[in-house]
Structure 1
Amino acid sequence: MMTPVQGVIAAQVNSKSKLKPYVEQKADTTKSVSAENFSFQTLADVTKTILLHAFWLSEQKQQLSLKDYKKLLFDQGWKGEEKKYLKIAAAFGKFSPQDFAQIEPRTIYQLAENSKKYQQVLDRLLDLSEITQESVRSLIKKQRTPREARPEKPSIWRRVKNGRRYCQIPPIHEPLEETGTTLQRMMDEEGLSAQQIVAEAIALRQAYKEGQLVFKEGTTKP
């Protein structure tokens, strides 16, 4: 699986004259970190490395033929991993890696993966003299608009794997259990299923609502 650091290292190995600025910038960063402390690379270095790799990969896609670009991905074992970095390059194309030195990597991925949603955030970052983690989080928080709570509409419908649906009546809770007792007695005496009895009852109620049935005095209406 491709990692940001591996991506930039590969960029150095396969670099051409047009990619020299990226390689030199990464080389300067590497010189400032001793071999003993490399494993403690700061979040700033990680974030800049991610952006450097994303910009480099985007250039490769633009400059190379489709065949050569696919070969690059295949040779480096990056196939399937490149999309997230191309999104980063597209989202942060107006910035430089140094602009986000104070931003933790996860925030970079969050903004890039949802660039349409956070386009206003990205636009407002251009106006900041200094981009900090706090300022980015503040803009993201303001971007979120509370949704109005809507009452959930009761539904009796359920679906099976083949896409077909069926209705399922929720449990009926009654102190004296009249409905359940009556339904069970009908099932036992008439040999009908609960579904058949309920279907008949609903059909009768619908007929009554449409004026096709008239109840005698002293009977209980549905």
Structure 2
Amino acid sequence: MIAQVQTVIPAPVDSKVVKKSEFEQYAQEKANALKNASGEEFSLLSLADVTKTILHHAFWLAEQKQKLSLRQYKQLLLEQGWKGEEKRYLKIAAVFGEFSPQDLAQIEPLTVYQLANNSNKYKSVIEALFDLRAITQEAVRSLVKQKRTPREPKPEKPSIWRRTKNGGRYCQIPAIHEQDEHTGMALQSMIDTEGLSAQQIVAEAIALRKAYKEGLLVVVEENKN
């Protein structure tokens, strides 16, 4: 009698599960390493490992988005509690896709987010990273400072208004500098001869000029004949 041999068909390997397991294993290993570190060692270790974990996560998430169907991808986000948070990690993957997590390990996590979220603004900085022998936080900070486009100062709109302590305002005419001092001398003469204040004379002069501009006054040339 021939014994029947039951054929065992291996279950298909879900690449998503494998990748997810690898990522979770990596995160757990780093968490354990951080627990065992202390003092200065903890500070140095946490900087590199947090940055690498962020990059590993970003690259893995971008890979899943390409491999999975839209429904599966959305389900993954829901399961992991990442819905609404995924966009910034996809930006990181898009911007730093040509680097490895180890390459960028010495950059602070906030700097990684800053460069990725403002990739157009920092395009020249990101491109310059390829030329660095060692990508460190100090080097990146220096690049940001070098590549920063100086802002052109906005021309200030002249204003004659000044504020009082009680919140009111008053008009103050700036100093008038003339080589022949014609305006100042004429104004002083009017003050002396007419007994008016400088403010009254200026107010009258402005009223006359305004009336002239509005066509209410005309210049009449004297007939010399």
Asked whether the two chains share a fold, i.e. TM above 0.5, the reply is yes
Taking the TM superposition and a 5 Å limit, the aligned residue runs for 1:139-178 are 139-153=143-157, 171-173=169-171
Are residues 1:119 and 2:123 paired? yes
Deviations 1:65-96 (A, max 9, x none): 12221121122221111111111111101100
- SS in structure 2 of the partner of residue 153 of structure 1: coil
Are residues 1:95 and 2:99 paired? yes
Are residues 1:108 and 2:106 paired? no
Relative distance call for 1:24 and 1:90 in structure 2 (3 A) is: same
Letter in 1 for 2:53: T
Q: How many residues align?
A: 168
Relative distance call for 1:207 and 1:140 in structure 2 (3 A) is: same
Could you say what the CA RMSD is over the residues aligned between the two structures, in angstroms?
Answer: 3.8
Are residues 1:51 and 2:37 paired? no
Identify the residue that residue 64 of structure 1 maps to in structure 2. 68
1:51 offset after TM fit, Å?
0.3
Letter in 2 for 1:90: A
1:130 offset after TM fit, Å?
1.4
Identify the residue that residue 194 of structure 2 maps to in structure 1. none
**Would the aligned equivalents of 1:87 and 1:113 in 2 still touch at CA under 8 Å?**
yes
Relative distance call for 1:74 and 1:31 in structure 2 (3 A) is: closer
Identify the residue that residue 6 of structure 1 maps to in structure 2. none
**Would the aligned equivalents of 1:54 and 1:88 in 2 still touch at CA under 8 Å?**
yes
1:205 offset after TM fit, Å?
6.9
Identify the residue that residue 30 of structure 1 maps to in structure 2. 30
1:137 offset after TM fit, Å?
0.8
1:101 offset after TM fit, Å?
1.4
- SS in structure 1 of the partner of residue 56 of structure 2: helix
TM-score (norm 2): 0.60
Letter in 1 for 2:48: A
Distance 2:32 2:80 in 1: 27
Gapped runs of 5+ residues in structure 1?
1-13, 156-169, 183-200, 217-222
Letter in 1 for 2:30: T
Distance 2:76 2:100 in 1: 24
Distance 2:172 2:155 in 1: 24
Distance 2:35 2:158 in 1: 63
TM-score (norm 1): 0.61
Relative distance call for 1:30 and 1:62 in structure 2 (3 A) is: same
Distance 1:71 1:153 in 2: 56
